[in-house]
Amino acid sequence: MLNYIEKILRARVYDVAEETPLDYAPTLSERVNNRVYLKREDLQPVFSFKLRGAYNKIASLTPEQTANGVIAASAGNHAQGVALAAKRLGIKALIVMPKTTPEIKVKSVKARGAKAVLHGDSYDDAYAHAMELAAEKGMTFIHPYDDPDVIAGQGTVAMEILRQYNGDIQAIFVPVGGGGLIAGIAAYVKFVRPEIKVIAVEPDDADCLNQALRAGERVVLAQVGLFADGVAVKQIGAEPFRIARQWVDEVVTVGTDEICAAIKDIFDDTRSVAEPAGALAVAGLKKYAERHGLQQQTLIAIDSGANINFDRLRYVAERTQVGEHREILLAVAIPELPGSFLKFCRALGKRNITEFNYRYFDPAMAQVFVGISSSGAEADQRQLVEHLAVEGFAVTDMTGNELAKDHIRYMVGGHAPYDVKERIYSLQFPERPGALLKFLMALGSQWNISLFHYRNHGAAFGKVLIGLQLGDAESVHFEQCLNALQLVYRRETDNPAYRLFAGGASA
């Protein structure tokens, strides 16, 4: 650990990085009944903490290494950090980015003097190509997290926090992707103030550190969720894991809705818009404080970045109410009789209906998709479902159903007129020109598409819901086709959201 303390104290970050403020968050503090502070790494020149580690690493290179330039693989914040650091030091930089990278991030890298090469559909593709180019051109590869000098650069965040706040601190919450940031923070905090808890926060669909700690060794996740793309990493770094397993106190995992709610929390107190990975620590702080019943403690969250595409704000706003437990989504069976809707509304009492979707389909029973306002307490959701059941309504809670929130709520009324013998899949499509055409050409004309729904959320990957008329043998062939295209997919034919609102007459 002493080696890292010395590295952090000597880190050359302030030639280009800013000492960011530690801002008190009054609205959030009142909501969680604790003193909450935000470490504003979103205010760095590249709107992310990544600049610290990138600059510290590049500044440590020998003259021979700098003469050949540096190379990195990244779709976002690390790319911009390397580009700016290299420009400030007068070193040529090459950034390999997936073809799915939004144009705004490609332009940002080029604007900072680096050359951008687009290759592959994922970070893994870009990384492999960057390593090939590094060997071919003799360039030095700048790793985004698995490097001691990068870790030390990120560790300066902790040095600033402990200098800016001298009082008692219960815990510091840190977003985790590859682990460079939490490794640097944990190494410094546990040496200077070992009583402070260091809490890692990960998306529940990209929890590579959590899984590694459980297994006692690094593991490779089969797939990762892409909403918080800044931390969508399949395997924790080797050096970050070595440090984290010794000094990180706990891991908290959070869902997409909780991250969206945290983006709003940060906006309410700062009027700035965090990216999903940037709000991750706040989401974890809220969950941890509630789980452990913390009151009047000082809690610090790292607001790690603000590189969010404007197009994603619509999606964030849609999911925030659920993330704050202020909206409950239900599928409710109502008799197709005059007065049934009135009876249902009376059962809700003074609750506000935020959404109501219905289309006549069955002469005996109506299936409605309804959004209902909630007090914010998790128990309120359970009590409402139980109350409606007592009133004689058949209720299916859809609040945690991703298919319902991403697709079905926009498709209600789309029942097939009869049982069309379809199989349903949800897919992740790369957001680049020709992706849909490539997919359809691979399918050819051998299968009939019976359902298709897609919405652009401003991310690198779009979400698609597709139905095809397939038999058992054909479904095996179709899945082999998806595997050959390297598409992430899930079987959804038995998902209750589909069966209640989009399936055929006998589904």
The two structure tokens encoding residue 483: 């595997």
Contact 91, 69 (CB under 8 A): yes
- Continuous H helices in 171-312: 180-192, 208-215, 238-247, 256-270, 276-292
Is the Cα torsion angle 185, 244, 323, 326 positive or negative in sign? negative
Catalytic residue among 50, 99, 286, 287: 50
**Non-local CB neighbours of 132 within 8 Å, separated by 6+ positions:** none
Is 74 catalytic? The answer is no
List the catalytic residue out of 48, 74, 108, 304. 304
Neighbours of 427 (CB within 10 A): 19
Give bridge partners of residue 355 from the DSSP assignment: 371
- Other beta carbons within 10 angstroms of residue 437's beta carbon come to 9
> How far, in Å, CA of 282 to CA of 277, rounded?
10
Cα separation, 31 vs 356, in Å, equals 29
Q: Which two tokens stand for residue 131?
A: 């390593």
Alpha-carbon distance of 320 to 279, in angstroms, equals: 12
Q: Decide: helix, strand or coil at residue 107.
A: helix
Place of tokens 């002493």: 2
Contact 337, 72 (CB under 8 A): no
Q: What does R_g of the chain's alpha carbons equal in angstroms?
A: 25
Using CA atoms, how far apart are residues 25 and 269, in angstroms rounded to an integer? 6
Contact 58, 50 (CB under 8 A): no
Instruction: Report d(CA 375, CA 370) in Å as an integer.
Output: 16
Give the pairing type, strands 140-141 and 70-73: parallel
The answer to whether the CB of 300 falls within 8 A of the CB of 21 is no
75: helix, coil or strand? coil
Is 99 in the active site? no
C-alpha dihedral (217, 147, 253, 327), degrees to nearest 10: -150
* Residues with a known catalytic role: 50, 304
